[in-house]
């Protein structure tokens, strides 16, 4: 008899569902079959990102601090082995493989149209078997140092992190995900093993497979390759962040044809992060205020103040939250003023029921369409698990969202005293 606990979760709107498996190893596994697809996408993630620089294991007495960029550094190193690295192994099977580190997670992934068994075995093998030496760590410090320099030459990336560094005094979200040359120079092999043992515990991870696959195929390999971990939980700690922004304006010179900008509002977060209802409500507010169907977007476009690069985003996570407007503009200050004027006017008048229903239907349709992409589905399963949500919860939240809730969130957000404008201009 299997020791794995399997639950099937179905969505009536989509007419499809997925399997949620409490695996005997301690890992949560998700399988979302789409047998009509020719490709399979798998992602193996850990709840460990760039902001996790101060933490305590449940079996230890004290908090420890690690250099900025360690999570990203560990992601790079995990692909290595004493023989062939993981990319070389994938090259033999024909799979497309990658990995990424964000502020709050690290994920390893592949997509294939064949050889699923071999590719899945490679994924589970290299993520579960770290190999670091002081010599290879020193070599990687030089490689990632070059990567940090490369990001410094990316106007959009530099503009975002300039904004975050002006917005936050102490929260580690203000530091580039890759860290700094100084911080990565402090990383050692021993430190990487310590972080691996803490955050790559299977109880802190999730695995999702979507596309042409089935539960039996996934579990046959997982049962064979995954050994049980003794459960370890992680407590995160952040220095108290002042409510005010550090600076309202920050500018840098890089060779750009048109100035690049990022304009955001620092919002206070009570607890670890925003609720799913707050995330969706804020996304609706941004769409109504400055999305492509808004009057402001059309006005700014007609006046030549923005172009097709303009976008809105609700950026949030553990103890940080900021609605952001970004893109290219010949007059970023004017654009930020117009955005702020529109939001302050909306706060006074409130969103109308007609605006609310139009954007809510648009969001619902967008959510439905997202389920046609197996990479979005698989990554969504991992992210939802890390946020203690269920993948299909978004449907119910959008369906049951109330206009009063959205207007209440609008009224307490977008404080004019907590704005930051980051601009990249040519010399």
Rounded Cα distance, 133 and 77, in Å: 10
Q: What is the pLDDT of residues 104-121, one digit of tens each?
A: 999 999 999 999 999 999
The whole-number pLDDT of residue 271 equals: 63
Name the nearest CA neighbour of 350 among 295, 414, 410: 410
The whole-number pLDDT of residue 151 equals: 84
The whole-number pLDDT of residue 152 equals: 84
Give the CA count within 13 Å in the CB-facing half-sphere of 97: 23
Q: What is the pLDDT of residues 167-191, one digit of tens each?
A: 999 999 999 999 999 999 999 999 9
Q: How many CB atoms lie within 10 A of CB 182?
A: 11
The whole-number pLDDT of residue 2 equals: 65
DSSP label at residue 401: -
Exposed e or buried b per residue across 328-344, where buried means at least 16 C-beta atoms within 10 angstroms of its C-beta: bbeebeebbebbbebbe
Q: Taking 80 as the threshold, does the pLDDT of residue 272 lie above it?
A: no
Rounded Cα distance, 2 and 45, in Å: 24
Rounded Cα distance, 361 and 381, in Å: 23
The whole-number pLDDT of residue 1 equals: 39
The whole-number pLDDT of residue 97 equals: 96
Residue-wise DSSP of 237-269: --PPPPSS-S-SEEEEE---SS-EEEEEE----
Residues of the chain above pLDDT 70, percent: 99
Rounded to two decimals, what is the model's pTM?
Answer: 0.94
Query: How far lies 97's CA from each of 84, 103, 124, 138, 403, in Å?
Result: 15, 21, 13, 25, 43
Q: What is the pLDDT of residues 376-413, one digit of tens each?
A: 999 999 999 999 999 999 999 999 999 999 999 999 99
Exposed e or buried b per residue across 15-28, where buried means at least 16 C-beta atoms within 10 angstroms of its C-beta: eeebbbbebbbbbb
Name the nearest CA neighbour of 8 among 165, 215, 212: 215
The long-range contacts involving 294-302, CB below 8 angstroms and separated by at least 24 positions, are 296/338, 296/339, 296/342, 299/338, 300/335, 300/338
Positions marked catalytic? 75
Rounded Cα distance, 193 and 200, in Å: 10
Rounded Cα distance, 265 and 417, in Å: 9
The whole-number pLDDT of residue 270 equals: 64
> How large is the average pLDDT for residues 89-106?
96
The whole-number pLDDT of residue 95 equals: 95
Q: Taking 90 as the threshold, does the pLDDT of residue 273 lie above it?
A: no
Q: Taking 80 as the threshold, does the pLDDT of residue 196 lie above it?
A: yes
- What are the chain's domains? 5-236 (3.30.830.10), 249-425 (3.30.830.10)
Residues 77/19, Cβ–Cβ less than 8 Å: no
Model confidence at 274, in pLDDT bands (50, 70, 90)? confident
């Amino acid at each position: 008899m299997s020791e794995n606990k399997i639950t099937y979760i179905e969505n009536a709107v989509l007419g499809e569902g997925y399997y949620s498996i409490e695996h005997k190893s301690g890992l949560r596994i998700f399988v979302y079959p789409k047998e009509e697809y020719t490709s399979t996408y798998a992602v193996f993630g850990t709840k460990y990102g760039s902001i996790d620089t101060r933490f305590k294991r449940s079996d230890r007495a004290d908090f420890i601090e690690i250099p900025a960029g360690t999570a990203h550094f560990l992601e790079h190193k995990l692909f290595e082995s004493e023989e062939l690295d993981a990319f070389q192994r994938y090259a033999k099977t024909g799979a497309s493989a990658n990995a990424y580190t964000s502020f709050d997670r690290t994920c390893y992934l592949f997509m294939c149209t064949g050889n699923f068994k071999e590719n899945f075995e490679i994924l589970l093998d290299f993520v579960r078997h770290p190999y670091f030496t002081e010599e290879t760590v020193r070599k990687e410090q030089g490689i990632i140092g070059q990567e940090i320099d490369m990001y410094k030459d990316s106007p959009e990336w530099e503009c975002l992190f300039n904004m975050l560094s002006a917005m936050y005094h102490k929260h580690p979200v203000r530091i580039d995900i890759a860290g700094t040359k100084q911080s990565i120079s402090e990383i050692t092999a021993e430190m990487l093993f310590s972080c691996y043992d803490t955050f790559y515990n299977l109880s802190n991870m999730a695995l999702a497979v979507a596309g042409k696959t089935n539960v039996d195929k996934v579990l046959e390999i997982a049962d064979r390759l995954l050994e049980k971990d003794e459960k370890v939980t992680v407590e995160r700690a952040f220095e108290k962040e002042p409510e005010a922004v550090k600076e309202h304006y920050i500018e840098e010179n890089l060779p750009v044809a048109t100035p690049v900008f990022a304009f955001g509002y620092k919002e206070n977060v009570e607890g670890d992060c925003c609720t799913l209802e707050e995330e969706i409500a804020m996304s609706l507010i941004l769409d109504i205020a400055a999305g492509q169907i808004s009057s402001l977007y059309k006005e700014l476009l007609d006046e030549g103040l923005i172009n097709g690069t303009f976008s809105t985003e609700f950026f949030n996570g553990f103890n940080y939250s900021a609605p952001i407007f970004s893109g290219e503009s010949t007059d970023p200050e004017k654009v930020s003023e117009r955005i702020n004027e529109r939001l302050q006017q909306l706060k006074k008048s409130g969103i109308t029921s007609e605006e609310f229903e139009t954007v809510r239907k648009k969001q619902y349709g967008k959510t439905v369409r997202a389920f046609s992409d197996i990479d979005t589905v698989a990554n969504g399963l991992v992210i939802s698990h890390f946020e203690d949500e269920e993948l299909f919860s978004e449907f119910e939240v959008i369906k049951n969202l109330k206009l009063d809730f959205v207007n209440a969130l609008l009224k307490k957000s977008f404080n004019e005293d907590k704005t930051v404008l980051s601009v990249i201009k040519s010399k």
